[in-house]
Amino acid sequence: MPVLTPCPGNHNNAWRHAEAERESTGIDHELQPAWGDPIHCTRCALRARSELADVPELLAAVWLESLHGTRPRSTGTIGRAPVATWPGEACRLLTDHIVGAMLTLEDDIRDLRRLQRRRPTAEGAAITSAVRFLSAHLDWALTDHPAAAEVHDRLSANPAAQIHSWHTAATRFTRRDTGVERYAAPCPRCDLLGLFRADGDDYIECRNVACGLLLTPAEYAAHTTALAASYAA
C-alpha cells in the first residue's frame, strides 16, 4: 500500500499546527488532514486546473482596468496631481509579475522534463501558449515538480500555490472578489492606488505585488491625516 501524505494545501494548516503542537507539548488532537492523491488532494488539483484556465481572461481584465481605471488629475488649480504615477502602472506591474512567473514555471518544467526550449514570442501569444503548456503538464507539476510537496504560502514555489497566487492577485485587482473594500489614498510605501481590505481581514493590504504593505486601520487613518495636511500646506 502506498504511504499517504497530507496535501500541502493551506486547508491543512490547522492540522499542521496541531501536529507541531503535539510534537512539542504532547497534547493530542483530533484533527484529520486531507490526504494527497498522491501529493495534492483532488480538490486542490481541480482548483489549480480551473484557476489556471481563468488566467488569460483575468489578465485581459487587468489590461482593461489600465485603460478604464481612474486617471489622476494632471491639471487643476494646484497644478500637479499628488500621485506621480500613471494609471496603468499597477496593471503593468501585476501583468509583468504574473506573466514572468508563468514563463519561469514553463521554462523550469521544460528543463526538468528535458523538453525543447520555449521560443520567445509577443506577450499575448506567450500567455496563451504558457497556459496551454502548463495545463498539459499540470498533473506532473502537482506530483513530480521538486516543489510539489512544499506547503502552500505566498512565497512557495509549489506550482499549485503559484497558480493560486496569480489567480488571487488578478481577481482582487479587478475587484471581482466580493466583500472587498478599496481605499482611496495611495499606498504610503509605493504610492500606487492599491490599498484594499477583504471582508473580515484585520489589515489593509497593498495589492501591488511588488509592495504588499500591511497597515492597521489606525495606521491608515494616520496616513490619510498626514496626506490631508500635506495637501493643505
Write out the residues near Zn ion by the rule CB under 5 A: 7, 9, 41, 44, 187, 189-190, 206, 208, 211, 213
Nearer to Zn ion, 42 or 128 (CB): 42
Nearer to Zn ion, 90 or 103 (CB): 90
Sign of CA dihedral 168, 172, 177, 183: positive
Nearer to Zn ion, 44 or 94 (CB): 44
CB of 107 to Zn ion, least distance (A): 26
CB of 125 to Zn ion, least distance (A): 31
Q: In what order do the strands lie in the sheet with 214-215?
A: 180-182, 195-198, 204-206, 214-215
> What are the E-state strand segments in 174-225?
180-182, 195-198, 204-206, 214-215
CB of 49 to Zn ion, least distance (A): 13
CB of 213 to Zn ion, least distance (A): 5
CB of 210 to Zn ion, least distance (A): 8
Within 8 A by CB and 6+ apart from 186, the residues are 82, 83, 85, 192, 193, 194, 195
Is-contact 152 161, C-beta < 8 A?
A: yes
Nearer to Zn ion, 7 or 170 (CB): 7
Nearer to Zn ion, 99 or 211 (CB): 211
24: its cell numbers: 512539542
